[in-house]
Amino acid sequence: MDNRHHLFYYLVLFLISPVLSVVAAMANFGQKNARLTLVLFVAAFGYTLILRPGADSYSHAVNFVNSYSYMSFAEFQEIMISIITLGGGKPYGAGGDELYVPILLYTLSQFTTSSSILFLFAGLVYGYFFIRGISLVYSDMQRNWNIVLLVLFIFFISWRNLEGLNSIRNWTGAWIFFNGAYLYLKTRNPNYILLVMLAPMFHFGYLLITLPFYAYLVIGDRKYVLVGILLASFMMTASTGFIEPYLTSTELGETKMQAYAIDEDRSTDFEVVDERSFHARNYRTVSDLIIQGLFIYALLFMGFMRNENHDPLRTRLAGLAILMLSLANLSSFAPVVQNRVFVNFGLFALAYLVLHFSKLHPPPGMHRNIVYITIPGILLFLFTQYSQIGDFMDFRVLVSPLTYPFLGDDPVSMKEFIRSLLL
């Protein structure tokens, strides 16, 4: 039961060590105050985020310090007008085509020039929708824990995790989309459609990525139509020639087309050597195949087509996920777009699988074997995912936030900190 004593307990633990508060909060995830502690941890992670050149977070920090710190209100208005008129929002190195980042950067620039404060507030926003999205699935699953359900749930909460804060426009938009779509599918309350419509204000790409949601509003639960669309998507692809006139009708669309669409005839005079380790090169391919395999297996053999073992929420989640996967298949002309659509598909597909395996009657039986087979690949994904998070997670998340002013500004990643203890 939530009460002020629990909130006080979590806050004191957070001030001692954010990591300890996370452990306590995860053990009591059903409590609202525990989830609030997790949001605070994401904010602390943002405050201590290690900014690496080339990452989106680094670009936002540079724009914040170099452009917004000296920006007049008239210049800010010019950026807003450029964005609203689909001009791209790029004057003065704005670094964003949507409303969210310029508003966040300009507002905070009136009070501070610290990029740490910028990502603290970005972490609060991202953390709220990230933790809320997880809690929606957690509250609807039957927590009869077993190895299958535990693996699937960890896979779900890790699919787009803390590393999403490195790209605050895209992955904040992803969790906003997930929250709005999930709540609409669960309640049929049209107000949640407005939350889905909010996602493009965080990242322009969600004008495309959210199309399957609106398509589902029209198609509904016509299973053979949905499966037919999915089958067709594996056999065909949209061409840039078909959609280019629509994408390039605005200055912003033309810019995005140049950035995302690939030239099939493009070649290079040299071979790029990929020096990453085996697991770093292949973990996404493996995890993508696992999600598709598990999802399609569940559709074909676990009752979706026969209307068995499916309540309305699971049926709707499966239908939307089918359309998301279909769009990902049709977006192969632009790998960047295809990847982002697929990541969003993964959120819905994994949410469906978690709910479905938690509520199967009779219990999973032989169906659990398909998950057992995929566990090595899922562990490969988890190892690589958290290894990457360790590259830009500062060791300061282990200690009290009250000590941050005394620890200096030189970042020490969690990986480096652990190596120093072991060597």
Instruction: Compare 238 and 101 and report the one with higher pLDDT.
Output: 101
What pLDDT sits at residue 340? 93
Residue 98 has pLDDT above 70, yes or no: yes
Least confident of 95-99, 220-224, 366-370: 95-99
Give the DSSP letter of residue 51. P
What pLDDT sits at residue 246? 47
Q: Which of 38, 220, 256 is nearest to 133 (CA)?
A: 38
What pLDDT sits at residue 410? 74
Instruction: Compare 272 and 176 and report the one with higher pLDDT.
Output: 176
Q: How confident is the model at residue 241 (pLDDT cuts 50, 70, 90)?
A: very low
pLDDT in tens, 363-411: 667 888 899 999 999 999 999 999 888 888 888 888 888 888 777 667 7
Cβ partners under 8 Å of residue 406, min gap 6: none
Phi, psi of 133 (to 5 degrees): -60, -45
Angle at 102 between CA 256 and CA 411, to 5 degrees: 100
Q: How confident is the model at residue 267 (pLDDT cuts 50, 70, 90)?
A: very low
What pLDDT sits at residue 5? 60
Residue 245 has pLDDT above 80, yes or no: no
Q: Where are the alpha helices (DSSP H) in 48-159?
A: 56-66, 73-84, 100-109, 115-140, 147-159
Contact, 314 vs 352, CB < 8 A? yes
Residue 419 has pLDDT above 80, yes or no: no
What pLDDT sits at residue 1? 46
pLDDT in tens, 309-324: 899 999 999 999 999 9
Could you state, in order of their start, the residue ranges of all structural domains in the chain?
Answer: 144-263+278-392
Averaged pLDDT, 206-217: 95
Q: Assign residue 273 a region: left if phi > 0, alpha if psi is -120 to 50, beta otherwise?
A: beta
Instruction: Compare 268 and 134 and report the one with higher pLDDT.
Output: 134
Neighbours of 80 (CB within 10 A): 16
What pLDDT sits at residue 268? 39
3-state DSSP: the chain helix, strand, coil percent, rounded to 5?
75, 0, 25
Residue 176 has pLDDT above 80, yes or no: yes
Q: What span, in angstroms and rounded, lies between the C-alpha atoms of 92 and 136?
A: 40
Q: Which of 80, 66, 72, 164 is nearest to 115 (CA)?
A: 66
What pLDDT sits at residue 294? 96
Averaged pLDDT, 172-196: 97
Q: Which of 373, 370, 418, 347 is nearest to 158 (CA)?
A: 347
Q: What span, in angstroms and rounded, lies between the C-alpha atoms of 13 and 11?
A: 5
What pLDDT sits at residue 262? 44
What pLDDT sits at residue 327? 94
Q: What span, in angstroms and rounded, lies between the C-alpha atoms of 225 and 321?
A: 14
Averaged pLDDT, 257-265: 48
What pLDDT sits at residue 6? 77
State the greatest distance between any 2 C-alpha atoms of the chain, in Å, as a whole number. 66
Give the DSSP letter of residue 394. B
Least confident of 29-38, 249-258, 331-340, 349-358: 249-258
Q: For a pLDDT cut of 90, what percent of the chain falls above it?
A: 48
Residue 92 has pLDDT above 50, yes or no: no
Averaged pLDDT, 281-286: 85
What pLDDT sits at residue 266? 39
What pLDDT sits at residue 258? 54
Q: For a pLDDT cut of 70, what percent of the chain falls above it?
A: 85
How high does pLDDT run on average in the chain? 85
Neighbours of 239 (CB within 10 A): 11
413 DSSP β-pair partners: 394
